[in-house]
Structure 1
Amino acid sequence: MNRIICIILLLPIFPAFAQEENRDQQINQAVFNKIEYHFNLQETDSIYALAGPKFKQSLSLQAFQTVMAQQLYPLGQIQSAELKSYDKGTGIYKLNFLSTPLQVVLALDSSNRIETFLFQPFAGDPVPEKTEVLTSRSPATSKLDGYIDSIALSYSRKGHTHALAIGVVNDGKTSSYYYGETEKGNKQLPDENTLFEIGSISKTFTATLLAYLVQTGQLNLDDPITDYLPDSVATNPDLQQITLKHLANHTSGLPRMPANIDATAASHPLDPYKGYTQAALYGFLATYKATTPPDDSYVYSNLGYGLLGDILSTVYGKPYNEMVQEIICHPLGLKNTTEFPAPDSQYVAKVYNKDGKETPLWTFDAFTAHGSLKSTVKDLLTYAKAHFKMPETDLEHALAGTRQFTFFNPPDTDIGLAWHMNLMGDELIYWHNGGTFGSSSYMAFSPDRKMAVIVLSNTAEPVDSVGSAILNSILASK
């Protein structure tokens, strides 16, 4: 009886609490809506004006402006947003950008001013783990085999992942490992001929094309980009100090994406570069206003690499994919690296987003040079091993040229042409990664050690942790 009375006594209190919680959530969402509006207009001061004293004490306006300008606005406009959770005064919102989703944590003080405003990688929605994963390998025959299996199977058991392909060169031995399935439910393992989107690893091929044209005397790294642009664009004074090298090492000051791509992406939300033309690219550049001078800081720019590829094609007189085939793939024997796989003879694994849902392969159009290539573990291992050779041919000199230091990006990363360079112990490691809405890739190698790690997935679940764990295990075992 007492238990029933307690429940009755509590009933009138619960709706009042719910109303108060709901009101706080509504206020939190209202403040977020203001932030989203000002973010898309890049009105940094207006966002900062919503902050409370605790937030302002921890982050000055100047520091806040730097973070927004260098790290967040380059992502482009927020295409859509949704509240994922609200608990104890803190809302977590998923933000959908063209390239990748993020989440923002927003909490308010007692005056409904911003107290916590934190951007994070989107954690994703929980998906049940798989109980069984296909693998191509028999039981591990070495300690490294066993370690790779454990790391790969942990990744592959995530409910939204599908195919995973790994390649390793170590101690004079080349090994490949395959897990999962190339299409959801088909029970078909990937193999050495399965193509994956490699995303921004394509930039290293673009940088090699640039270094090749430098090696063969067709241009110079320090040439101003305006030497190769039409007059309607070249007359923009904000472009005239940018060089080809600045495009290749992400120090041009150009944003990550052009602002005018938003309208194009709205027509193809799952294929955001589709339909973005050279005319649109030139239209943006003609009115571009610099906020960061060239050679001042590292600002990762897909726009810069799209433009670089356009210039290289103009100089060479052929489309990007033909350049890649003639200059890199044919000499190295890369039979399955291409922008346009042949439907009758080359199989590309279907791609899946972070929720495990199938999504289209991307169409890059004017941005082809920044992320359009598809490749295999076998080809990328061959590509990595080409970096191990003492250069003799023009292509080998070009590969070596991409590994030359061009810029220091604090705290500990050097930049070559496309390649990021880190000293791990006493080994200099060159690396790049990539990702689309439906694929993830990682490549790292050491020419001195003649060691390489390749990881490819047909899911938008990053594989960097898989690749770096394997890399660290190899380095620790020497």
Structure 2
Amino acid sequence: MRHSVRSLALSSLLLSAGHCLADSDLRPVVNASVEPLMQQQGITGLSVAVIHKGQVQYFNYGLASRDTRQPVTENTLFEVGSVSKTFAATLGGYAQATGKLKLTDPAAQHLPTLKGSALERISLLQLATYTAGGLPLQFPQAADNADNMLSYFQHWTPAYAPGTQRLYSNPSIGLFGYLAARSLGQPYHVAMEQTLLPKLGLKNTYVNVPDEQKPRYAQGYDKQDKPVRVSPGALDSEAYGIKTTARDLAHYVIANMHPQTLEQPLQQAIATAHSGYYQVDGMTQALGWEYYPYPIALQALIDGNSTPMAMQPHAVGWFATPHAQPANVLYNKTGSTGGFGAYVAYVPAQDKGVVILANRNYPNAERVKVAHAILSALAP
């Protein structure tokens, strides 16, 4: 199987190579996890970025497209699905840091057409943490378009008292991102591509892939091995619409682990996105991100990213005040579309993280196993 490894020196954070596994040491660890996975899951192409002590190593496997036979590189664009939610969360934190909104604001305060609806009693924070009262995982088919989306929210009736149950939901955090962009006076894709992404230094991350970049856009493959890419839907950009590269996501992880290198509003935005608001079993819900005490047993991390966590309601007990980033935790987020699967995990206190991007949607548990093995191989 074709693979390559490249290293990127990050001058502002670079530490001596003696503090981390050498390239030749890490390669067998990554290969031993990835190569059997690709065969078992029928994955055409996959890219891994490993971040450790100010260095990034890239491990690339297979093809971006079977038709063109173009190999995967760290500059291949992948759909990252719900990893996009962490960008929406950071945008909301940025809007708060610049005085455009407060997370405690009622959602309807930022969109007059929602006045008189249940959203008058639901906060932006509840939308961002999936506790609005039972918004579903996906929009009903009739509402899954820009024309009908607002009407759906106007007539939606909560199944639970707001703030009492976590039910993972694209409409919930999608509306949060939509309202955050409105507070900044911009459509979401403009707020993301012209404000947040440039400030984060992400030059190859998009909501809408420009025509000149489409040759780098990997082809996704569905469960029947048919070519597929993400379809338009209501709040798709906010909930699952980001396309990016392993190189840019590695840069994003570094920004999250070292926000002091960013301008002040972004430092505050990341602190807001990293804060813990409540706990469900061993998982603490932040904004977009979810975190766990570290080190963590493999099974506990698999359980936290399981289907029941995504599909079933869970009672929540809010912290009296948001918990600032604890000393030893692992932040993570999975993401999927019809033809792509992504996973991002990082441990700020140990300055290490991993990005895994594939042009096939495969089980979260398998992504977690690969990431856990890699992170465990890296010295604290």
1:395-449 CA distance string (max 9 Å, x none):
122112100111111x100011111111132830011010011100000111111
Closer/same/farther in 2, CA of residues 263 and 375 from structure 1, 3 Å limit:
same
Check conservation: 1:309, 1:369, Cα contact below 8 A: yes
Alignment of 1:214-363 (within 5 A): 214-231=96-113, 233-236=114-117, 238-257=118-137, 261-263=140-142, 273=144, 276-277=145-146, 279-346=147-214, 347-363=216-232
Q: For 1:443, what is the secondary structure of its paired residue?
A: strand
Structure 1 unaligned blocks of 5 or more:
1-132, 265-272
Partner in structure 1 of residue 357 of structure 2: 456
Q: Which has the higher contact order (CA 8 A, sep 6+)?
A: 2
For the residues of structure 2 that align with 1:186 and 1:134, how far apart are their CA atoms? 15
For the residues of structure 1 that align with 2:30 and 2:248, how far apart are their CA atoms? 20
Check conservation: 1:199, 1:370, Cα contact below 8 A: yes
Check conservation: 2:33, 2:373, Cα contact below 8 A: no
Q: For 1:294, what is the secondary structure of its paired residue?
A: coil
Closer/same/farther in 2, CA of residues 367 and 181 from structure 1, 3 Å limit:
closer
Alignment of 1:6-405 (within 5 A): 133-137=1-5, 141-158=23-40, 160-231=42-113, 233-236=114-117, 238-257=118-137, 261-263=140-142, 273=144, 276-277=145-146, 279-346=147-214, 347-391=216-260, 393-405=264-276
For the residues of structure 1 that align with 2:277 and 2:340, how far apart are their CA atoms? 29
Give the AA of the match of 1:339: V
Closer/same/farther in 2, CA of residues 159 and 435 from structure 1, 3 Å limit:
closer
Q: For 2:166, what is the secondary structure of its paired residue?
A: coil
Check conservation: 2:249, 2:355, Cα contact below 8 A: yes
For the residues of structure 2 that align with 1:141 and 1:220, how far apart are their CA atoms? 45
Instruction: Report the more deviating stretch, 176-185 or 308-317.
Output: 308-317
Check conservation: 1:136, 1:189, Cα contact below 8 A: no
Q: For 2:330, what is the secondary structure of its paired residue?
A: strand
Check conservation: 1:167, 1:177, Cα contact below 8 A: yes
Give the AA of the match of 1:263: A
Q: For 2:235, what is the secondary structure of its paired residue?
A: helix
For the residues of structure 1 that align with 2:212 and 2:25, how far apart are their CA atoms? 39
For the residues of structure 1 that align with 2:247 and 2:330, how far apart are their CA atoms? 20
Check conservation: 2:342, 2:356, Cα contact below 8 A: yes
Greater Rg, structure 1 or structure 2? 1
1:279-308 CA distance string (max 9 Å, x none):
412211222111111111211010112211
Partner in structure 2 of residue 98 of structure 1: none
Q: For 1:456, what is the secondary structure of its paired residue?
A: strand
For the residues of structure 1 that align with 2:233 and 2:333, how far apart are their CA atoms? 19
Partner in structure 2 of residue 430 of structure 1: 331
Instruction: Report the more deviating stretch, 413-422 or 312-321.
Output: 312-321
Partner in structure 1 of residue 304 of structure 2: none
For the residues of structure 1 that align with 2:104 and 2:48, how far apart are their CA atoms? 37
TM-score, normalised with respect to structure 2: 0.81
Aligned length: 330
Check conservation: 1:251, 1:295, Cα contact below 8 A: yes
Q: For 2:355, what is the secondary structure of its paired residue?
A: strand
Closer/same/farther in 2, CA of residues 280 and 222 from structure 1, 3 Å limit:
same
Give the AA of the match of 1:281: M
Deviation at 1:215? 0.8
Deviation at 1:356? 1.4
For the residues of structure 1 that align with 2:110 and 2:53, how far apart are their CA atoms? 45
For the residues of structure 2 that align with 1:177 and 1:463, how far apart are their CA atoms? 20
For the residues of structure 1 that align with 2:235 and 2:87, how far apart are their CA atoms? 16
For the residues of structure 1 that align with 2:62 and 2:242, how far apart are their CA atoms? 22
For the residues of structure 2 that align with 1:244 and 1:193, how far apart are their CA atoms? 35
For the residues of structure 2 that align with 1:287 and 1:454, how far apart are their CA atoms? 39
For the residues of structure 1 that align with 2:186 and 2:61, how far apart are their CA atoms? 38
Deviation at 1:390? 4.9
Instruction: Report the more deviating stretch, 307-316 or 218-227.
Output: 307-316
**One of 340, 346, 349 as aligned partner of 1:445:** 346
Identity %: 26
Closer/same/farther in 2, CA of residues 152 and 284 from structure 1, 3 Å limit:
same
Q: Pairwise CA RMSD of aligned residues?
A: 2.2
Instruction: Report the more deviating stretch, 461-470 or 357-366.
Output: 461-470
1:67-107 CA distance string (max 9 Å, x none):
xxxxxxxxxxxxxxxxxxxxxxxxxxxxxxxxxxxxxxxxx
Give the AA of the match of 1:239: L
TM-score, normalised with respect to structure 1: 0.65
Closer/same/farther in 2, CA of residues 390 and 342 from structure 1, 3 Å limit:
closer
Structure 2 unaligned blocks of 5 or more:
7-21, 297-327
Instruction: Report the more deviating stretch, 444-453 or 324-333.
Output: 324-333
Q: For 1:194, what is the secondary structure of its paired residue?
A: coil
Partner in structure 2 of residue 465 of structure 1: 366
Check conservation: 2:84, 2:238, Cα contact below 8 A: yes
